[in-house]
Chains A and B, each alone.
Chain A
């Protein structure tokens, strides 16, 4: 992805909107007793479209904003989302993406990893209560949500930054062959 100021502005708007929607909508709805978390999927999308640097920087920025708005210790969410964005970007740089399922699958896997990461950050500072195995079920359900929501997010963001994508196939108009003497 070629990062022009216009494209960066679009990414910033998408990131801001993603965080606000997460806090005011997705975190407050439940399906099967679990709230979807779209932020790892959003960072994965940035990583897949822009590469490891875009993924890591967007992960840091989105995590920072999340921690600011929830008045949490700064840096915890950033740390996890940097890893998610960088991993998605590295995947894109190392492998060719042939299937349409790659983006949603990666969203699901890395959302699960992000939830483990959030748990690890919390564990770093000490968890003094019981942890139910149901937390794993919740994380798996969140991954399933991330598969479907990640799909939509990837398609939407890809469309939004299409002019900047270097691997976007140019639509060529078929031209009639020139017939000499006609």
Chain B
């Protein structure tokens, strides 16, 4: 009797493992399949409601985190903390949302959004839980005009690209994802390169130069270059702000042809985003 139970248990375990591997093999590299679209269609409204309902609680926890983070820093940071405190507490969540939307409009008016693109605004409704993935879900999808590889920005700059979608949701692969690589140029010097993230440090990107004898300097801005290769799937239009050079030692540039970039967008604290739909990049 006991042996029979053990055999059955092992058989179920083997079935589950084989099933998982089979699913992984079949679905790897696909955008989305009918099962995922069905499940997402059912749960996306629930996620959206939960997301809005839990926003004050999230803001409170994030405020505690920011408070810890800001301790011991100088007066300038304390000033920012005051602002964050005002934004975070319960009923002022709406105020923060307005600010993000205003920033998006400012980015739009500054000319950072290339002509021919129609921005579609969406809210983050789900985020991947592990330290390895950098994916999130937003509450706009193909029904809103979102297409595969559409660039995604926030009020500060480039955030990522759409890699899968359903009717009402889209999956955004952040530029901090381990499989992400973005063709960029440094302004004003015009040096071309590719930035890749560092897993575990979302604010540290490596800028690898492409055949340049010039040097970059700390504080210089990095924007999308607009080109892509077989290795770089992402097809971002040119001149979207990406980040600024934070570490640019001459030795490292000459020996390894690289420097360090910090993204403008706070990739750990995203809430309202814009998908740039349309355009003529394809």
Contacts and interface: CB of A to CB of B under 8 A. Distances in A.
A69 B40 contact: yes
A122 B124 contact: no
Contacts of B125: 23-24
Interface of B: 9, 12-13, 16-17, 19-33, 35-36, 39-40, 43, 46-47, 50-51, 54, 57-58, 61-62, 64-65, 68-69, 124-133, 135, 137, 163-166, 169, 171, 178-181, 196-201, 204, 206, 268-269
A149 to B, nearest CB: 12
B24 A86 contact: no
Given A69-B47, A73-B30, 17 more contacts: A32-B65, A53-B9, A56-B16, A60-B16, A64-B23, A68-B40, A69-B137, A71-B164, A75-B25, A76-B20, A82-B20, A122-B132, A130-B196, A132-B199, A134-B200, A134-B201, A136-B200
A78 B201 CA distance: 26
Contacts of B179: 128-129
Main secondary structure of the interface of B (DSSP, over half): mixed
Interface stretch (A33-41, A99-107, A154-162, A173-181): A33-41
B50 A30 contact: no
A70 interface: yes
B194 to A, nearest CB: 11
B171 A71 contact: yes
A20 interface: yes
Interface of A: 20-35, 37, 39, 52-53, 56-57, 60, 63-76, 78-79, 82, 86, 115, 118-119, 121-122, 125, 127-139, 142
Contacts of A24: 47, 50-51, 54, 125-126
A131 B131 CA distance: 11
Contacts of A122: 132-133, 178
A73 B24 contact: yes
Contacts of B51: 24, 28
